[in-house]
Structure 1
Amino acid sequence: MESISTEKNEIARRQVIGFSREMNSLEQWVADPSGDLRLFSVSGIGGIGKTTLLTEMFRRAKQASLLVLWLDGQSELTTSGAFLSSLEMSLQNEYGRFRDPDVPLLPYLVAELSKQRSVLVMDNCERLDLIESWLLSSFLPRLKDAEVLLVIASRNGLPVKWRTNPLLDGRIQTFPLKLFSREEIHEYLRDSGLEEAVQKEIAQKTEGLPLLLAMIVDLQRSREGDVREIPSMLSAEFLKEVASPSLFQALTVLSLLPAADQPAIDNLLDDPITASGYFELGKLSFIRSTPYGLSLHHVVARLLREEHARRNPSQFRRQRLHVFKLLAEQFRLADKRRQMQIAAHVLELYREFLPAAHAYADFSSTLKPQEHSPYRAEDLPDLQRFLGWSISNSDWQSELVDPREYHELLETIATDHPEGIFVVRDPGGTPVAFCAGFWLHAGTMPLLDRYAPRLSSILGEDSSGLRLLPAEAADTICVLLAAVNIRHPLYRPEELGALLMRQWLIFMTRGFKGINITADPNLNSLFSLMGFKESGRIKPEGPEDTGGLTQWELDFRQAAFEEWVQKVIRQTGPADDAPNMPMPGAGQDLSVPIDGKTVKRILERLYDTEQLERIPSVRALHLPAAALQKNVLDLLMAEPPAYPLTKLEQQILRESFVRKEWNKNELAARFHMSRTTFYRHSRTALEHFAHVLSRLV
């Protein structure tokens, strides 16, 4: 029996954080007078704290005067004989109990464990399968009425065979361990002896993996070793699970992808993995299956990427570029939810190129964007409070609106048009940041005139069209207010600013256009760095308004996600790092602005060559109107339709602009869609047709 005293002493030097749910369950079992056989299944990736939890449970059970035995699965669960011998030696060494030579080993151990409330703590149980049949058929049935608790820790948890066994029905509690929250990270750091500034930096740049946090703190305390070596050290720890060099190469590739099936992984490997190799990948503790293939735990993925970039920087950049092009192609074909996931992953892949020292946004933080959660009425008091603090600091807000009306404007948006509020929440669901404005359509334009009367002058000819646009067709939002919780005890304002910007951008990649207007030089610089396009200026209104206002736009309605990413990276990164080569299927001359809006104008004037030639984008093509008309009609009738245009989208465009026999409501009914769904399909059809037409001309 291997002693755990050394390991326990090592862990005791570290503060034990978290585990309240797990320890409460232990206390409840200890206090339950009708206690019977129970199993706790503790699972999680390497470094998540399984051994720490088991050591704490061992200590608490000892304090409660229970009989407590520790087994190491790596050496003591290989055979039933080794398991029983280890229990016997533990009883001898820890409790001075010896078996009479005439008593068989198994009945003796069952009797000893049944005499009093007992706990068996079993760590490193990855190979429990070696003796699980014997445990389930011969050992555990003898203890079914005994007050015995088995605490079993493994990376992947107990197999299905255990969870479906009739004997154990209702006796198993599962404890999948999670990363530390930001609050738990600060709690861990509080007694570390490190300076407060160092603690804040560590909290900002670690992702809650206990082992990673402990290693960084130890290195900072000792000032021996280089923190930059940690990804390599932890990568080696994770790769203990990997059985072959080929799987290691596949993991390196998978660290660059949000999720991938076997063909996608093979596409980035010199030597493709086998079907059995792909199956083995799926069994690793830090990999989960998704509808899109295997996905690596985000902390493990980041550490493997950092190690890859350090070990072979040129290969890392080449593979990252290849992945970017692959994801750009997937983005065009993905549904809206998947597009948001791809956008989030690409921003993470290229996070090093995003601003790390800006007055409003620090993207070096490891805060991870959450799933988008809509505004709720109970959020308003928090948002009004953030807004009040922001006003007092004179930051984030649009000078288009009178500051005295900020609170009223937010109340109006929340009451009449809550879809215009974008909320960012912490992992517990509490708001930490927001931005708010109006989706531009017939119902909101009068409110925009009321609160931001100068905007109409900058919207130009689009303003009249927006005043007739139904709400369900709106695809442009004008942001007027934004604020973060600048008094949050755990997150710095710049972190929250970056998180707000990232999550809003990810949301907008679903095919929307955003407008922001400001005179704040810090916001002007941020919008420029983040790939916004300057689209107009509003002159100063009076002597006190000296700077004027700049309008910034970001337009994802034409599925130009990859071009936006290229622009952001090229502004801040070395030329050889920027993914600036043509994307798959993107052969168009970007100097000729053919987008969904242009295609709509072309289709509306398709049979009027004189009107057709007056469209600025058509003039820029240097193509006779008659030739353009023929090309468009050929594309509308082509069988099969040119990629990425689908047959349904082709039919929608033909019925809407060529045959024109039905109005919008009738068309929606004809295609068995709601009016809102029909508008959405129509916009996508125009975007895809623009993509096809751009390649053709």
Structure 2
Amino acid sequence: MEWIPTSGPYVPRRHIVGFTRELASFKQWLTDSNSTTSLFDVSGIGGIGKTTLLLEMTKAAAQAGILTLWLDGQSELATSGAFLSGLEASLKIEYGRQREPGLPLLSFVVGELTRQRSVLLIDNCSRLTGIEGWLMSSFLPKLSGAEVLFVMASRGGLPIQWHTSPYWGHRIQAFPLSLLTRAEVLDYLHRCGLDDMLRTDIARKTDGLPLLLAMTADVLYSRQSNPDAGAGLGEIPGRLSADILREAASPDLYQALSVLSLLPAADQATLNRLMDAPLEAAGYYALGNLSFVRRTACGLTLHHVIAGLLRSDFAQRDADQFQVRRQQAFQLLAEQFRLADVRQQRGIAAHILELYREFLPSAHAYADFSTALNPGVHTPFRPEDLDSLQQLLAAAISPTNWQSELVHAQEYSALLDDIARYSPEGICVVRDDSGAPLAFCAGFWLHGSTLSMLDRYAPGILALLSDEQATLRTLPRELTDTLCVLLAAVDVRHPLYGPEELGALLMRQWLVEMTSGLRGIMITADPQLKGLFQNLGFQKMGHIKLNGTEAEGELIRWELDFRHQTFDKWVKEIIRQTGPAGLPSLIPRNEPRAKVDGSAAKQILELLFRGDEMDQLPVVQTLGLRGSDVRNCVQNMLTTNEAPYPLTQLDQSILRAVYLQRNRNKNQLADDFHMSRTTFYRHSLQALEHMGHVLTQALSGMES
């Protein structure tokens, strides 16, 4: 583990203890002339020092002149494309390596890694399972004759199939990190300069957990070195608490920590948007040097346990100020959400749901959001999960109602098999720390190939989709944006969590997945579920009689549609419905009278040269502008050499080609931009959102 000191009156030196075996093996690989492509599997609980070890390895590799790349598994292991794009970005930023036009991304990355001995460090590898098949079958074999070391850090370690692989198993070294030994703790405390009389007591009470040990040392060193702290060192804390955090930092830094706890990550400028007094560069540096603060590409971030403690302390100390700061954080995150990519949007959505968790339903029959459980990083469904999901489903049918009312009970198992076979991305799984499923929901993404499956298992649902059937039957798979959930189950026998707690975890994870511009459909006759859906902002979109009789009840189609509703507006509605009277409004006073979202931007482009129709657009009328004013603004925006942020030159090119030139079809355009049709479609939607943001700012300044 490392000592990361405060920057202020108390600046102990940075120390590393432990990791003897791990660093020795790493340095041996770096210097061994016969090294081949290998994998280091680093694992351990949160706060054990996985990231610190990887940082030390990074430093050692850089000192040895080895090409060294770092990936964050939370964002860059979702797909093979994200993995390769992350490596490409690192090669360009760190080493100036530029891919030649026309060279496939995979060929470029493999070529760079095989040119010299290389080290690839991947932190937060819990999402590795999403691309492990591609890694083992397509990526790693291309490097089998090279000299590349993969260091993969995660809580649970690499899945068993990696270690049992006849080709890769012998290339893996496992490094499960454990608590620090008593000797390592005493060595660490000795290097920190603490009094001899404290060391044994600290070693006993901190149990060797590096995160707690570093925080305790921060506090006690500060007390020992500060003449105003008094001679008595007081009781040594034996657990994480806000008191430790408050004493580990100066009052100014503690306020900054409280603000940081409201954000997923923040740079200096972002923090200062929420601070009473600006945090200077020295203060920001000091904040980043605290043992429980980590530097990332997006700024500083807190360990999630620490962030929760700080928020709780803030709310208890000054409830009114906490409300104000939380609202300010919400507005800032809402701005970031509209400009973020899908991966970043999921992270922001999950953070906002945690910020406002007390406004979500509690003590509900199916989902109790009052418990502060951390769902962790979402890991997509994988084929080996199916047996576990079938067991959860079978166990949940009898004592609870975690099943579909549209499907006959004897067909649940076959339905889940077919969803896994034909629509695996329609399965949302919540896991424990070891990766074992705790809960899931499953359904079909609606497009031409899945309607027949719906008709087979749940024929009644087609009546509820009657207004859309014709469109859905011709919709290609890559353009689908609607998930119809048919099954759900939680581990009703779990010894630690109640079914309602797991239901809340599952609903939170599913909501996060939907926020990236998707629509979710739930169908139920259960009055408890109806109440839950209403509380969560679902809209009632139709109904039919269950089995055609009054006695059986009424099936209602509920929708949550993020295609035409922004995530921030949905959160505001939830708070408005459930918050106490008099809660300050989340709507900023200087918000534009009208916002141009991606859908409105598309309408404007389609009517750009039809002045009369442009004048009639709701957004144009709301702003009190003429269509010609809007047209001139858009033309300037799409032709200027300096694209206004967040619009990019690629966005400009795509929008000009699609909406202004209009001389090629979508397949031809995708080829022109060297993208698949699906990727081109995604870039087009993103370009429209970016254009809408720029238009909102520009047109608001022109309001009459």
> How is 1:186-265 mapped onto 2 (pairs within 5 angstroms)?
234-242=241-249, 244-265=250-271
1:677 equivalent in structure 2: 679
1:471 equivalent in structure 2: 477
Q: Which residue identity does 1:309 align to in structure 2?
A: A
Deviates more, 1:422-431 or 1:650-659: 650-659
Using the TM superposition, give the Cα deviation of residue 350 of structure 1 relative to its aligned residue in structure 2, in angstroms. 1.1
TM-score (norm 2): 0.62
Kept in 2, the 8 Å contact 1:375–1:423? The answer is: yes
Return the alpha-carbon distance in structure 1 between the equivalents of residues 560 and 628 of structure 2.
30
SS at match of 2:489: strand
Query: What residue ranges of structure 2 are gaps of 5+ in the alignment?
Result: 1-17, 22-43, 49-180, 217-236
The 1:337/1:619 distance shift into structure 2, 3 A limit, reads closer
> How is 1:402-551 mapped onto 2 (pairs within 5 angstroms)?
402-543=408-549, 546-551=552-557
Using the TM superposition, give the Cα deviation of residue 285 of structure 1 relative to its aligned residue in structure 2, in angstroms. 1.8
Using the TM superposition, give the Cα deviation of residue 493 of structure 1 relative to its aligned residue in structure 2, in angstroms. 0.4
Using the TM superposition, give the Cα deviation of residue 603 of structure 1 relative to its aligned residue in structure 2, in angstroms. 5.2
Kept in 1, the 8 Å contact 2:182–2:208? The answer is: no
SS at match of 1:516: strand
1:317 equivalent in structure 2: 323
Return the alpha-carbon distance in structure 1 between the equivalents of residues 554 and 185 of structure 2.
68
User: Which among 271, 295, 302 is matched to residue 289 of structure 1?
Assistant: 295
1:631 equivalent in structure 2: 630
Kept in 2, the 8 Å contact 1:124–1:153? The answer is: no
Kept in 2, the 8 Å contact 1:397–1:518? The answer is: no
2:665 equivalent in structure 1: 663
Return the alpha-carbon distance in structure 2 between the equivalents of residues 693 and 154 of structure 1.
59
Return the alpha-carbon distance in structure 2 between the equivalents of residues 449 and 125 of structure 1.
65
1:275 equivalent in structure 2: 281
Return the alpha-carbon distance in structure 1 between the equivalents of residues 46 and 567 of structure 2.
35
Return the alpha-carbon distance in structure 2 between the equivalents of residues 632 and 231 of structure 1.
65
2:75 equivalent in structure 1: none
The 1:43/1:425 distance shift into structure 2, 3 A limit, reads closer
Using the TM superposition, give the Cα deviation of residue 514 of structure 1 relative to its aligned residue in structure 2, in angstroms. 1.2
Kept in 2, the 8 Å contact 1:422–1:436? The answer is: yes
Identity %, equivalent residues = 49
Return the alpha-carbon distance in structure 2 between the equivalents of residues 583 and 458 of structure 1.
41
The 1:476/1:602 distance shift into structure 2, 3 A limit, reads farther
Return the alpha-carbon distance in structure 1 between the equivalents of residues 508 and 187 of structure 2.
39
Tell me, yes or no, if structure 1 residue 397 matches structure 2 residue 403. Answer: yes
Kept in 1, the 8 Å contact 2:440–2:489? The answer is: yes
Return the alpha-carbon distance in structure 2 between the equivalents of residues 557 and 249 of structure 1.
38
Using the TM superposition, give the Cα deviation of residue 126 of structure 1 relative to its aligned residue in structure 2, in angstroms. 5.1
Kept in 2, the 8 Å contact 1:44–1:177? The answer is: no
Return the alpha-carbon distance in structure 1 between the equivalents of residues 671 and 240 of structure 2.
61
In terms of Rg, which structure is larger? 1
Q: Which residue identity does 1:408 align to in structure 2?
A: A
Return the alpha-carbon distance in structure 1 between the equivalents of residues 676 and 200 of structure 2.
54
Using the TM superposition, give the Cα deviation of residue 495 of structure 1 relative to its aligned residue in structure 2, in angstroms. 0.8
The 1:236/1:623 distance shift into structure 2, 3 A limit, reads closer
SS at match of 1:448: helix
- What are the superposed Cα offsets for residues 84-141 of structure 1, whole Å, 9 maximum, x if unpaired? xxxxxxxxxxxxxxxxxxxxxxxxxxxxxxxxxx98575494571559xxxxxxxxxx
The 1:684/1:505 distance shift into structure 2, 3 A limit, reads same
Q: Which residue identity does 2:423 align to in structure 1?
A: H
Return the alpha-carbon distance in structure 2 between the equivalents of residues 472 and 323 of structure 1.
35
The 1:121/1:478 distance shift into structure 2, 3 A limit, reads closer
Q: Which residue identity does 1:684 align to in structure 2?
A: Q
Kept in 1, the 8 Å contact 2:594–2:622? The answer is: no
Kept in 2, the 8 Å contact 1:398–1:480? The answer is: yes
Return the alpha-carbon distance in structure 2 between the equivalents of residues 565 and 600 of structure 1.
25
Kept in 2, the 8 Å contact 1:652–1:682? The answer is: yes
Return the alpha-carbon distance in structure 2 between the equivalents of residues 664 and 578 of structure 1.
47
Q: Which residue identity does 1:422 align to in structure 2?
A: C
1:128 equivalent in structure 2: 191
Kept in 2, the 8 Å contact 1:641–1:650? The answer is: yes
RMSD: 4.1
SS at match of 1:294: strand
Using the TM superposition, give the Cα deviation of residue 623 of structure 1 relative to its aligned residue in structure 2, in angstroms. 8.6
Kept in 2, the 8 Å contact 1:635–1:642? The answer is: no
Kept in 2, the 8 Å contact 1:441–1:470? The answer is: yes
Q: Which residue identity does 2:507 align to in structure 1?
A: M
Return the alpha-carbon distance in structure 2 between the equivalents of residues 484 and 605 of structure 1.
49
The 1:119/1:502 distance shift into structure 2, 3 A limit, reads closer
SS at match of 2:398: helix
Kept in 2, the 8 Å contact 1:328–1:562? The answer is: yes
Return the alpha-carbon distance in structure 2 between the equivalents of residues 280 and 127 of structure 1.
23
Return the alpha-carbon distance in structure 2 between the equivalents of residues 629 and 516 of structure 1.
44
Kept in 2, the 8 Å contact 1:121–1:152? The answer is: no
Aligned residues: 496
Using the TM superposition, give the Cα deviation of residue 576 of structure 1 relative to its aligned residue in structure 2, in angstroms. 4.0
Return the alpha-carbon distance in structure 2 between the equivalents of residues 662 and 679 of structure 1.
14
Kept in 1, the 8 Å contact 2:339–2:690? The answer is: no
Using the TM superposition, give the Cα deviation of residue 542 of structure 1 relative to its aligned residue in structure 2, in angstroms. 1.4
The 1:651/1:122 distance shift into structure 2, 3 A limit, reads closer
Deviates more, 1:506-515 or 1:552-561: 552-561
- What are the superposed Cα offsets for residues 293-315 of structure 1, whole Å, 9 maximum, x if unpaired? 11122222222222221221111
Using the TM superposition, give the Cα deviation of residue 676 of structure 1 relative to its aligned residue in structure 2, in angstroms. 1.4
Query: What residue ranges of structure 1 are gaps of 5+ in the alignment?
Result: 1-21, 26-41, 47-117, 132-149, 158-173, 180-208, 210-229
1:353 equivalent in structure 2: 359
Using the TM superposition, give the Cα deviation of residue 503 of structure 1 relative to its aligned residue in structure 2, in angstroms. 1.0
Using the TM superposition, give the Cα deviation of residue 233 of structure 1 relative to its aligned residue in structure 2, in angstroms. 9.5
Return the alpha-carbon distance in structure 1 between the equivalents of residues 656 and 47 of structure 2.
54
Kept in 1, the 8 Å contact 2:479–2:678? The answer is: yes
Kept in 2, the 8 Å contact 1:609–1:626? The answer is: no
Return the alpha-carbon distance in structure 2 between the equivalents of residues 631 and 121 of structure 1.
67
The 1:694/1:366 distance shift into structure 2, 3 A limit, reads same
TM-score (norm 1): 0.63
- What are the superposed Cα offsets for residues 174-214 of structure 1, whole Å, 9 maximum, x if unpaired? 976579xxxxxxxxxxxxxxxxxxxxxxxxxxxxx9xxxxx
Using the TM superposition, give the Cα deviation of residue 604 of structure 1 relative to its aligned residue in structure 2, in angstroms. 5.3
Using the TM superposition, give the Cα deviation of residue 569 of structure 1 relative to its aligned residue in structure 2, in angstroms. 1.3
Return the alpha-carbon distance in structure 2 between the equivalents of residues 563 and 619 of structure 1.
19
Using the TM superposition, give the Cα deviation of residue 418 of structure 1 relative to its aligned residue in structure 2, in angstroms. 1.1
Using the TM superposition, give the Cα deviation of residue 284 of structure 1 relative to its aligned residue in structure 2, in angstroms. 1.6
Using the TM superposition, give the Cα deviation of residue 412 of structure 1 relative to its aligned residue in structure 2, in angstroms. 0.8
- What are the superposed Cα offsets for residues 209-241 of structure 1, whole Å, 9 maximum, x if unpaired? 9xxxxxxxxxxxxxxxxxxxx999922223332
Q: Which residue identity does 1:553 align to in structure 2?
A: E
SS at match of 1:531: coil
Q: Which residue identity does 1:246 align to in structure 2?
A: D
1:552 equivalent in structure 2: 558
1:200 equivalent in structure 2: none
The 1:420/1:643 distance shift into structure 2, 3 A limit, reads same
SS at match of 1:515: strand
